[in-house]
Amino acid sequence: MTTDAMSAAAPPAAPPVEARGLTKRFGPLTAVDRLSFTVPRGAITGFLGPNGAGKTTSLRMLLGLITPSEGTALIKGRHYSDLPDPLQAVGAVLEASSAHPGRTARNHLRIHAMAGGAPAQRITQVLELTGLADAADRRAGEFSLGMRQRLGLATALLCDPEILILDEPANGLDPEGVRWLRQLLRGLAAEGRTVLMSSHILAEVAQTVDRVVIVDRGRLVAQASLAELTAGHDRGLEDAFFRLTGHTPEVSR
């Protein structure tokens, strides 16, 4: 068989992240309702929606932390629990305060490196990458929210994962930190990695992402490239978001 014939016969690679009819009920409340979307490789996808739209619940189902009531959550075509090397496949930040407050940043990373099989030198690399090198021997309990976010990112990057799943990663970062985060994520995507990030900061999302998935009341309302979604909207992503979700931005008085 020729190389061309073998390529034609090869099945397409599974998307890095995929939800198929994902549903989650908590008693009478349906938090996520038949949600389906895919996240392409080598891009940053913004996962957007009003408060209570089901974003965090969806991310937790993708990572196997919550069992769906119906539907399927897949990472590289498998359930997270079935991945042979989950920490190498996915790095996640769902909570900025996951580190034990009495541990130093370095010791926190050392424990996670041992669990994931990351080499010792990787600890120094991620401390430098996330701007925590000078704070490596401080206890996490002394960190600001922004520094805890950086430590969460350092932990997620320890095993050099192909995919990053981040819930509100800019929360607590100052303007300089937000700019740093944008540049970091753009650099990772340029290396061919996949990023799925939720955020409520629409102006920052518009400067960072390639694609957008918008949910409201647990349901998908849009899935498109940023350019497709914002075409024809004078105020770009903000206009598109409020039109699609039917929510009116609050006006300060």
Per-residue pLDDT tens digits of the chain, which is 253 residues long = 455 554 455 457 899 999 999 999 999 999 999 999 999 999 999 999 999 999 999 999 999 999 999 999 999 999 999 999 999 999 999 976 678 999 999 999 999 999 899 999 999 999 999 999 999 999 999 999 999 999 999 999 999 999 999 999 998 899 999 999 999 999 999 999 999 999 988 988 999 999 999 999 999 999 999 999 998 766 789 999 998 988 665 543 3
Separation CA 217–CA 35 (nearest Å): 10
The amino acid present at 163, given as its one-letter code, is I
What pLDDT, on the 0 to 100 scale, is given for residue 2?
52
Handedness of CA 72, 38, 205, 153 (dihedral sign): positive
Q: What is the pLDDT of residues 9-53, one digit of tens each?
A: 545 789 999 999 999 999 999 999 999 999 999 999 999 999 999
* pLDDT at 251 (0 to 100): 41
Q: In the numeric block, which tokens belong to residue 102? A: 């009495």
Pairing between β-strand 44-48 and β-strand 219-225 as defined by DSSP bridges? unpaired
Do residues 65 and 39 touch, judged by C-beta distance below 8 A? no
Degrees to nearest 5, angle at CA 199 with 207 and 167: 125
Nearest to 194 by CA among 209, 174, 179: 209
State the Cα angle at 147 between 184 and 226, rounded to 5°. Answer: 35
Cβ neighbours, 10 Å, residue 115: 11
Q: What pLDDT score was predicted for residue 235?
A: 75
pLDDT score recorded for residue 1: 45
Q: Are 60 and 94 in contact (CB under 8 A)?
A: yes
